[in-house]
Amino acid sequence: MSSAMNARPIDRRAAESYATWFKALSDRTRVRILNLLALAAEPMSVGEIVNRLSVGQSTVSHHLKLLADARFVRRERRGTSMLYSINVTCVACFPSAADAVMGRPAASV
């Protein structure tokens, strides 16, 4: 018996969350931002991200908003600056989301 036969269909709420996650990763700039934040030792400002990726400030800000809405990045205000970091908990769940969508049992995270 295949594992797909034992899997249950995902509910509407989970499907909405997963769709948001996949959409957040559907743009190469957002993938690059996530990679940069995942490799960073400290939270980064928009200006630091702009300098590292050679992408415009408004573009980076737009993508960071979408990534934050999907909960892939965290925002932290320090003084007048907003700093961004990877949300390890959410990103760690992403492979399980892909498994669930494909009807495979999710690995424990």
18-40, pLDDT tens digit by residue?
A: 888 888 888 999 999 999 999 99
2 Cβ neighbours under 8 A, 6+ residues apart: none
Which stretch of DSSP H or E encloses residue 82? strand 81-86
Predicted TM-score (pTM) of this structure:
0.76
Identify the weakest region by mean pLDDT among 27-31, 76-80, 105-109.
105-109
Distance CA 85, CA 23 (A): 19
Name which of 78, 80, 57, 12 is nearest 65 in CA terms.
57
